[in-house]
């Protein structure tokens, strides 16, 4: 599979990329049925570097991902994620008209370990729309553009939290609404999950300087902003 991965930033210790939808960060036992190349493999072909993921994104989530060029560089960056010192902003399209803002503090269960951990997400609704397209059981359909700011980094946190407030992310086939997912496919030919890691701020261990990274939206998002007449976040 030939895919050019967009490189957002690179220095002697790390590389930051804009991960496309539907690509695993790295192969694992839990994704053993997926045969497509993972991101680490694709980047090896593209850069000829052996890279080590510092954190992860779900396969269906797009956006900023950091990888280290040497194993010994992982720890200093990874500790910032583990200690919730990294500022992250995501955008999502969700079902329904979401409240203007709020905080979700429901614990989430790790699918790999079965353990519950505290999880906190702040959110802000930026745009809403009502479409004259029926989706079972309603004659019309409503959607919101939401900015999520997770204060913790749990597995599937934003997907679980969006579902918890009854505004699941469009295109999420595990926690979402299958009727709305199908409508987006049939009416617009948009097949990806609408969750994008747009901005990340982390401290560079050697210099102490803040590294601020931003990533562009995938093609489906650009089409949606135009079709829904929504302002694209900067």
117 phi/psi in degrees, rounded to 5 = -135, 150
Angle at 141 between CA 139 and CA 147, to 5 degrees: 165
pLDDT at 126 over 60: yes
Q: Burial letters for 176-203: b for 16+ Cβ neighbours within 10 Å, e otherwise?
A: bbeebbebbeeeeebebbbbbbbbbebe
First to last CA, the chain: 31
pLDDT at 144 over 60: yes
Give the mean model confidence (pLDDT) for residues 112-141: 95
pLDDT number for residue 1: 53
- What domains lie within the chain, and their CATH numbers? 6-228 (3.30.2350.10)
What are the E-state strand segments in the chain?
6-10, 14-19, 52-53, 62-68, 87-95, 101-104, 108-109, 116-117, 121-131, 141-150, 195-203, 210-214
Indicate the pairing of strand 62-68 with strand 195-203: parallel
Gap between the Cα atoms of 209 and 80, Å rounded: 13
Give the mean model confidence (pLDDT) for residues 188-209: 95
Choosing from 38, 58, 172, 220, the catalytic residue is 58
Give the mean model confidence (pLDDT) for residues 203-221: 94
63-122 confidence digits (pLDDT tens) = 999 999 999 999 999 999 999 999 999 999 999 999 999 999 999 987 778 889 999 999
User: Residue 13 CA to chain centroid, in angstroms?
Assistant: 24
Gap between the Cα atoms of 184 and 189, Å rounded: 6
Gap between the Cα atoms of 64 and 57, Å rounded: 8
pLDDT at 219 over 70: yes
Q: Is 58 a catalytic residue?
A: yes
pLDDT at 27 over 90: no
């Amino acid at each position: 599979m030939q895919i050019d991965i967009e490189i957002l930033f690179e220095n002697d210790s790390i590389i930051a990329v804009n991960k496309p939808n539907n690509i695993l960060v790295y192969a694992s036992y839990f994704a053993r049925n997926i045969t497509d190349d993972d991101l680490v493999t694709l980047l090896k072909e593209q850069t000829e570097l052996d890279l080590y993921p510092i954190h992860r994104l779900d396969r269906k989530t797009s956006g900023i991902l950091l990888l280290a060029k040497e194993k010994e560089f992982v720890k200093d960056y990874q500790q910032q994620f583990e200690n919730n010192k990294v500022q992250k902003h995501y955008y999502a399209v969700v079902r329904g008209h979401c409240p203007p803002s709020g905080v979700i503090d429901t614990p989430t269960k790790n699918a790999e370990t079965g353990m519950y951990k505290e999880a906190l997400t702040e959110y802000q609704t930026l745009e809403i729309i009502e479409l004259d397209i029926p989706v079972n059981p309603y004659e019309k359909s409503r959607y919101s553009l939401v900015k999520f700011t997770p204060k913790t980094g749990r597995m599937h946190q934003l997907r679980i939290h969006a579902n918890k407030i009854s505004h699941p992310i469009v295109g999420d086939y595990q926690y979402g609404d299958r009727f709305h997912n199908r409508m987006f496919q049939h009416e617009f030919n948009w097949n990806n999950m609408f969750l994008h890691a747009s901005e990340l701020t982390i401290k560079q261990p050697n210099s102490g300087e803040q590294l601020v990274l931003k990533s562009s939206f995938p093609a489906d998002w650009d089409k949606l902003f135009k079709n829904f007449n929504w302002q694209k976040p900067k």
